[in-house]
Amino acid sequence: MQSQEIARRWIEFFTSKDHTAVPSASLVSSDPSLLFTVAGMVPFIPYLTAREEAPYDRAVSVQKCIRTGDIEEVGKTARHGTFFQMCGNFSFGNYFKTEAIGFAWELLTSSISDGGYGLDKNRLWVTVYLDDDEAAALWQQIAGLPAERIQRMGKKDNYWHTGQPGPGGPCSEIYYDRGPAYGPDGGPAVDDVRYIEIWNLVFMQYQLSAVRSKEDFDVAGELPKKNIDTGLGLERLALILQGVENFYETDQVRPVLDAAAAISGKEYTSAETAADPHHTDDVRMRVVADHIRSALMLISDGVTPSNEGRGYVLRRLIRRAVRAMRLLGVERACLPELLPASRDAMKGVYPQVEADFERIARIAYAEEKSFLRTIASGTARMEEAVTESKAAGTSLSGAEAFALHDTYGFPIDLTLEMAEEAGLAVDEAGFRSLMLEQRQRAQADARGKKSGHADLSVFNELLAGGQTIFTGYDELDGESRVRAILSGGRKVAHAATGDEIEIVLAQTPFYAEAGGQAADTGLLTGDGFIAEVLDVQRPVKGLSVHKAIVREGEMPADAMVRAAVDRQRRHAAEQAHTGTHIVHAALHQILGPEALQRGSFNKAGYLRFDFSWGEGLSSATRSEIEEVSNIAIRNNYRVDTNVMALADAKALGATALFGENYGSDVRVVEIDGAWSRELCGGTHVASTSLIGSLTLLGDQSVGSGNRRVEAFVGMDAFRHLAAERALVTELSDMLNVPSNLLPERLATTLNKLKTAEKELERLRKDQLAAEAATLVGTARFLAGVQVIAHDGGAVGGADDLRTLALDLRNRLGSAAAVVAVAGVANGRPMVLVATNEAARAAGVKAGMLVKLAAGILGGGGGGKDDVAQGGGSDPAQVPAALAAVVGAIQQRS
């Protein structure tokens, strides 16, 4: 049974059971604590946790999901993948355990001709929570399962909660027995490879008051409404119904795997054990198949490669796939062959991947091309690091390996491979330590961001009393009532001078940060107190929370206040926000509709705008964007806002930010009608001339396929231009030319500088040649070898020593010769030894002599038998180091 048919039967079965079919949400999660939609229940969290009223009692979906926590295991097991589809059925206070178990058993075991999946009842096992006697009894009553095929598990395996105070409950998992060829008998409690989990039924029935860990929490009581949340892994069921070994061989994944095999010339064998010689190549092909599909679906949902967040995950997936192909022996670009195979496998269920393939392919191919360049540039840096490490006589440091990874995107396995080829060890433990530190910083940052919204109970309680009314579209000051004062996440009765607090008002003119627009600041004044508003956020939809500090007096929790927004700062922010819309329209006019918005931020006097574009903007293009923007400002276009139904806004052609969630009614901002028409909840000037002017600061890459432009507006634009004018005036005065002749004079000056540098380089080489001609006469015969040991004093660097040593070696002819030259550059001593073929035949090797000399200098070194280099930390030891080289040669006799 094909994956598309599995999904179709799922939806049809549950709609026949009065469930509302809900389309898959984007992989880009609307939950601020999640990068991606990681489970089928994520879009339903507001309903399951009662933050919002569910629009239906029962729902069914086939949800796209991404998880990368076990990315290192991809390809090694039958069930680890980054992209997967979760089939789910949900009840919001409607049905509970009896119906959930009945539905699951009916769908799994009904014959294919009756619309079911036709699984053998005798191969199905279930697990239930230790204390869930009710579920165990229902499985026996409804499914007729014998007691020995119902296994009880602990909280670690069969209890669900969010990790925060809130709903939770036991779960029951359904397993399929793949047979004795896959492992020992005894059910899922014994072996979860033979017995593969296909469906999890979560019985959400308790209110948890405290959650200390997965297995340590307090139950406050039962929920007033019990919910059902289930998830069946489509890929896991597909591997069973299609009779394949693992999900990489199912119909939506196997075509990419076959393409990887064809391109690499490798044979895919379905090898499952590491002892199998084919196992490594099989794992690599599975990695390619999984990661290419995940990249296809992520780009389809608007994610583009970058160095942070979702974009970093996408970049890592593409680069791991390219790296896997490289390890399979393919060093050329191969996504143009792999990605279409994934498109054709997925388009039946997700037709948008075909409709949008041109954009998807452009982004993916550009990233692959960029990574291939990364490998090239990283290789150059890697070779430098190897040379430096050998010269110092050390292994490649963990810091260097980390820099190669972090700066160049160089995979550690590639670093290890190349270092081994060069005969150099790598401080892998140091690298892993630095990687761990980076992950811990990222996790701490993520926790820090999440902690602001971790326990939303107090905000949900306030929201239940009514939403905050925003009056800031029409007024910048007004009377309001304080609904609550919070300190440390708890309500307090009052706040005194110096207290940093959060304030919830009944209504507010303060704009809460949203849509890329920074929050308002200002003052709250009342009877005997003044509080300064520093920031405004919305931890839950519909509730504005003012972060403030009490500057004077004592503020009670039920006070009446005069809320006054900083008018100048708001106006400057409105200039910037309207300027953002203008820049967006200018980009569309000049670059075309493919310049899709990928994010923006605007605050008083400043804006930045991210958009999809694969290459840098020329200075002429930037000038044209700036000109179009300022013409729109000069033409004094009206800025109109209208609230309308989302469907009507789309019919008008209003531009929406991909991945943003919009309600049924939206706010449409128009600049000169259709010239710019966008969905936007921000605040704006009434007409474009109020912006004053706009000055672009340039553009930069923010990840492969994405660019960022920045600009100043209003007085900030004027100040920027004034500063640039002052700089031009200063340069004109320094060079004593009019400003219009500055480019010509600077070009002339730079050319003269380059000519002088070339002449200095020529003179330096002549000086070294003359020095070599003199030094060749100082050669001594020691133990049958010509030896020159020269202290060059202060030198320009290692290149000078190398040039001198090789010149001297050539001048000494074919008889056995050794040249050792040393010097001090930037306060650090270095030594270089060169030997000719005859000397090496006599057993004199440069690497051995350099290690001896570098050790005396307080460092290390190494290299090949013909040329080797080393360094140290004690310049005073240069004569002793050279003497040691001479002594070592003499001792040969």
Write phi, then psi, for 499 (nearest 5 degrees): -70, 135
- 370: tokens are 């960029």
CB atoms within 10 A of CB 122: 10
d(CA 225, CA 240): 35
**What b/e readout covers 137-160, taking b as 16+ CB neighbours within 10 angstroms?**
ebbeebbebeeebbbbbebebbbb
Q: Are 209 and 219 contacting, i.e. CB atoms less than 8 angstroms apart?
A: yes
Q: Are 578 and 609 contacting, i.e. CB atoms less than 8 angstroms apart?
A: no
User: Which residues have C-beta within 8 Å of that of residue 399, sequence separation ≥ 6?
Assistant: 430, 434
Q: Which residue, 201, 179, 254, is CA-closest to 2?
A: 254
Q: Which residue, 462, 4, 590, 18, is CA-closest to 242?
A: 4
Write phi, then psi, for 537 (nearest 5 degrees): -130, 165
User: Which residues have C-beta within 8 Å of that of residue 240, sequence separation ≥ 6?
Assistant: 119, 176, 178, 196, 198
- 577 has binding-site annotation: yes
Amino acid at 95: Y
User: Which residues have C-beta within 8 Å of that of residue 6, sequence separation ≥ 6?
Assistant: 87, 117, 234, 237, 238, 241
Q: Which residue, 778, 798, 786, is CA-closest to 869?
A: 798
Cα 864 from chain centroid?
A: 41
- 458: tokens are 């107090």
Write phi, then psi, for 878 (nearest 5 degrees): -60, -50
Write phi, then psi, for 300 (nearest 5 degrees): -60, -35
Helices (H), 412-456: 412-421, 428-451
Q: Are 517 and 511 contacting, i.e. CB atoms less than 8 angstroms apart?
A: yes
Q: Are 379 and 418 contacting, i.e. CB atoms less than 8 angstroms apart?
A: yes
d(CA 265, CA 242): 26
- 754: tokens are 């380059």
- 405 has binding-site annotation: no
User: Which residues have C-beta within 8 Å of that of residue 793, sequence separation ≥ 6?
Assistant: 823, 824
d(CA 253, CA 588): 37
d(CA 89, CA 228): 8
Please count the CA atoms within 13 angstroms of the CA of 186 that sit on its side-chain side. 7
Which DSSP string corresponds to 686-714?
A: SBGGGG--EEEEEEEESSTTEEEEEEEEH
- 856: tokens are 């005396």
d(CA 500, CA 484): 14
Q: Which helix (H) or strand (E) holds 482?
A: strand 477-487
- 291 has binding-site annotation: no
d(CA 729, CA 741): 12
- 161 has binding-site annotation: no
Q: State the binding site for Zn(2+).
A: 577, 581, 680, 684
Q: State the binding site.
A: 577, 581, 680, 684
